[in-house]
Amino acid sequence: MVLMNEPAKHGLVRIRFDLSYDGTEFAGWAIQPAQRTVQGLLQDSLSTILRVRINLTCAGRTDAGVHARHQVAHFDLAESIWREFEDDLLRRLARYLPSDVRVNSIEQAAPGFDARFSALRRRYKYRICDQLVGIDPLERVNVLNWESPLNEMIMNEAGALLLGKHDFAAFCKRREGATTIRALEQFSWSRDESGVLVADVVADAFCHAMVRSLVGPVIAVGEGRRPVSWPLSMLESGARSAESIVASPQGLTLENVDYPEDSELAARAVATRKMRELDN
């Protein structure tokens, strides 16, 4: 398998930017013909402003309707163009982009940085309002309404059983030639000050639709419709089944991406590439 996203070539600089978006009106991150995507919109905007074709790589390729409070992406650019635009690019993007996507910082990346392969871990949150009256309309953009009460104690138990490094094939939409082995570091549930149920889901990386495929079965446990061990038995089956439940994207937000210290960025990217290849 050939992995793209090599370090920046000679004469090019690598630009890192941090962004947030309301995913409601996007068909996800990844560019698709005739669809409004985050990648497509940003590539078009940057290409227009910089007058050169831009290709983006991000840390977490969110699905249609999934939000990001702190996504990270990079692109490579001729150094001369960067020097021309660097002082003004943040302001120009702020004016150019629609209000459902905001670039919060943009700067030359530290050497060896790769938004995807240098990342140590991704943190998502999944928010559910299970109260009778439903979520406050002013807070609803990234919260799912659920009509029956959920028991977060048993949801926590069910989630804890899945922690660790496993083949998460049962919780992934299969992509040809891609490994489904991941290290799930956290999958815990708590209630915020408004009573909204929030899942913290952290892993080194996630496969396609993995967070929502983990959340769906645990909701069934929280409703009492399935035993606490049900998600674990799905994991152990090693394959996606007809009983898979993919939770709605509305409740899911990519909260942040962790990277190592600057001195470790390149080594981390090399190690991640090697690991993904070995696993296949």
Instruction: Write out the catalytic residue numbers.
Output: 63
Cα distance between residue 213 and residue 154, in whole Å: 18
Q: Is 146 in the site for its own copies (CB under 8 A)?
A: no
Q: Is 125 in the site for its own copies (CB under 8 A)?
A: no
Q: Is 148 in the site for its own copies (CB under 8 A)?
A: no
Q: Is 133 in the site for its own copies (CB under 8 A)?
A: yes
Q: Is 134 in the site for its own copies (CB under 8 A)?
A: yes
In which element (H, E) is residue 254 found? strand 252-258
Binding its own copies (rule: CB under 8 A), the pick from 50, 56, 135, 221 is 135
**How many C-beta neighbours within 10 Å does residue 215 have?**
28
Binding its own copies (rule: CB under 8 A), the pick from 27, 141, 161, 275 is 141
* Amino acid type, 169: A
Q: Is 103 in the site for its own copies (CB under 8 A)?
A: yes
* Amino acid type, 158: A
Site string for its own copies, 104-123 (x = CB under 8 A): xx------------------
Nearer to its own copies, 53 or 91 (CB): 91
Number of residues written out for the chain: 280
Pairing of strands 144-145, 121-129: parallel
Q: Which residue has the tokens 């399935």?
A: 226
Closest CA to 26 of 61, 62, 64: 64
3-state secondary structure of 257: strand
Interaction with its own copies in 194-253: which residues (CB under 8 A)?
253
What residue ranges bind its own copies (CB under 8 A)?
20-22, 67, 69, 90-91, 94-95, 99-105, 132-138, 140-142, 145, 147, 253
